[in-house]
Each structure stands twice: as C-alpha cells, then as structure tokens.
Homo-oligomer: A and B are copies of this chain.
C-alpha cells in the first residue's frame, strides 16, 4: 500500500480545560507556557498526541503530568483547527475538559509547571484560541449540568447540600431557593444522607451527603431537571 499522496500532515495537540471548585469559587487551572512561541504566557495545559496514543490516553497523560491525578472526569469538547491558530505551524487541537475537586488536587499537585488556579471572573489573556476554548467549555458545563449530575465531580466524597447549592449557584451565576433546590436534588435519589455534620460554616452544622455511586453511574445519562428555567443554554 502506498500512502495518501499530496496531502499535508499537521501536528495534533490536546488542550485541557480544567475546572476546579474549592468550596467557594469555580476556578480554572492555567500554566505558564514553557516554550516558544508565547513562552511565559498563560495557557491551558496541553501537549502533542504521541504516535501510539489515542486522544483519551493523551489527555489523561497530560492531565496526570499537571495534576498528578488519574481517573478524573474528562470529556472531549471540540476540535479546534483554524489554519492560523498556532502561528508557528498549523496545529489541530482537540480540547478536553475536566472537573476536579481542588482540595483533593492540592495534595497531589506537581509544581513543575507553575500551575495556578484562576477564578473564572479573573482569567488572564490566554494564548492562541484558548480563550475561545474556555468560553465554550463554560457553556458546555452549564448545559450539561442542567441535565446531568456532573457537578458532583467537582466536590469531595462528602459534601453538604449548602455546598452543593453554592456550586450550582457559581456555575449558573444566580441564586436558587434552597427549599426547591433540595427538593429537586433529593428527588433524584442519588444522594445518601450521612450521620455526621460539617460544622465549619455554621453553628448548627449541615449534614454530609455522599453520592450513591451505583445509581450515579446507572442514571448519569438520564435527563434530570435541576435548573429552573434553563432558558438560553447552548
């Protein structure tokens, strides 16, 4: 067999949009790019796909390099391929987005890459089309979280309803009625109430909950309806 003739070969990279939550804010993990072009500028964590890897393997490897974590939630966002997106050489980038509980992540962080968390309200200028990737990832997160219990990936194993609600409020940048919120969340029957309470944030303390992992896996793809008036999602 002969190879396909007269076709241009291009570089293929992965870029990871890594969202994290620390109990207060929704954040994005960025690194200072270590090589030219745009060396020293803020960038998504990325890398080239190796000859024997598929995209998921490459994304996992890159994610592990940066965070030290494995088995994270990960999903392909979109392939970006405008001819000039990397001025050095045409490079197609497959964007993945990932969700991390920041506090868990901090124990394992590799500091080799000067990674930093940025609140979504204070994102610096990013290289290439990474800004577009982040914006699209935010939209996709909002869309997906409106129908699927994806935001649990941002929380520790044990969490409280007020913490969960706070997270939803961060993602949708709005406030929910806590009575209606807890009714909807609990009606999914994905949560298991624990006996102990979290007492950092209030005198009374809030009961911890855990995911029912089995139900979570089984029902993950079903359509929930957690967000009132989901309205103008994409």
Interface size on A, residues (CB 8 A): 41
Measured between C-beta atoms, what is the minimum distance from A69 to chain B in Å? 23
Give the residue of B4, B36, B90, B222 whose beta carbon is less than 8 angstroms from that of A48: B4
Give the residue of B10, B37, B221 whose beta carbon is less than 8 angstroms from that of A1: B37
Measured between C-beta atoms, what is the minimum distance from A13 to chain B in Å? 9
Q: Contact residues of A with B, CB < 8 Å? A: 1, 3-4, 7-12, 36-37, 48-55, 76, 78-79, 81-83, 87-92, 94, 146, 221-223, 230-234
CA A36 to CA B82, docked complex, whole Å: 28
A222: chain B residues at CB < 8 Å are 231-233
In the complex, the chain B residue whose C-beta lies closest to that of A223 is B230
A1 touches B231 (CB 8 A): no
In the complex, the chain B residue whose C-beta lies closest to that of A231 is B222
